[in-house]
Amino acid sequence: MAKVRIKDVIETFKLELISGEEGINRPIVTSDLSRPGLEIAGFFDYYPAERLQLLGMTEMSFFNKLSEPEQRIRMEELCRDITPGIIITRGQEVPEELMQASERESVPVMRSNMKTTRLFSHLTNFLESKLAPTTAIHGVLIDIYGVGVLITGKSGVGKSETALELVKRGHRLVADDCVEIRQEDQDTLVGNAPELIEHLLDIRGLGIINVMTLFGAGAVRSNKKISLVIHLELWEKNKQYDRVGLDEETMKIIDTDVTTLTVPVRPGRNLAVIIEVAAMNFRLKRMGVNAAEQFSNRLNNAISQGAHEDY
């Protein structure tokens, strides 16, 4: 199923549909846009027909200087069977040649009153967001002190209960049980909840609770950049867990590596406090304060001084 169709762009940007109405369900397959200036001048060797085309003041001014046969040929060349649509900006008059060509090929022609560069920027951001690579992960996403923390672990380990305690402590729930994640940039992952379970928490013994209804609008948010993954697992007696924190593990989500901490779960451990502190410590590390490195340096200095005194 196509993620974005021309009709979505028309609705989002309040565009005026001029012609080619039969093609409003055409899919948009790339976030790249095109301003076909060279093409209107007659050079179609590298015409990116699969892109959404924007015709601004510059393109239309040149087009109006062409002869009528040239105008007709250029517009017919612009309207291909894979062209999703053509947008005329600044509220300019749409050429009759373009309308005729668009009707023949069912290429939607739209008009906007926005300036070309501004519409170009807004359209690019919109399409990059909608066409970004996506995945879904079983877990809970919480905004803790501005850090997007994705809590993962096997079913029944206590993810939702920990999330409830974190919400009570003033943090904000983004998603529970299923987190939809999209990669908006090379190293930017944004998570949100599926519409069906937005603002809901599933607590065993209580059932489904609505966090926004219980704790207010300040206890939830619609999406959040994921900066840290905390994996909860049942305590294994013979497993060696990190006691210092010098080694940083990562988890690959789509094409991005995210810092990951493994927290063992057993009775008596306050997971909410541990995760809260992990988020604060993560922020400190990004600010250049690394407690584990400071301790390691002190330890090395003490060992060096002790060895020097022995001599």
pLDDT tens sequence across 70-119: 999 999 999 999 999 999 999 999 999 999 999 999 999 999 999 999 99
Please tell me which residue, 298 or 272, carries the higher pLDDT value: 272
138 is catalytic: yes
Pair (155, 113) in one structural domain: no
Q: Give the CATH number of the domain where residue 36 resides.
A: 3.40.1390.20
Known binder of ligand: residue 224?
Answer: no
Known binder of ligand: residue 157?
Answer: yes
Catalytic residue among 80, 177, 202, 285: 177
Global pTM value: 0.73
Pair (139, 121) in one structural domain: no
Known binder of ligand: residue 191?
Answer: no
243 is catalytic: yes
Helix (H) or strand (E) holding 130: helix 116-130
252 is catalytic: no
Catalytic residue among 3, 115, 138, 269: 138
159 is catalytic: yes
Known binder of ligand: residue 156?
Answer: yes
Pair (147, 275) in one structural domain: yes
Pair (266, 141) in one structural domain: yes
Q: What is the pLDDT of residue 237?
A: 77
Residues 83, 85, 91, 95: is their CA dihedral positive or negative? Answer: positive
Pair (138, 81) in one structural domain: no
Residue at which a domain ends, from 92, 114, 130: 130
The pLDDT of residue 293 is above 80: no
Q: Locate all alpha helices (DSSP H) within 14-52, ordered by sequence.
A: 37-40
Pair (146, 194) in one structural domain: yes
Taking alpha carbons only, the member of 198, 184, 187 closest to residue 134 is 184
Q: What is the pLDDT of residue 113?
A: 95
Mean pLDDT within 59-69: 95
Catalytic residue among 237, 243, 252, 308: 243
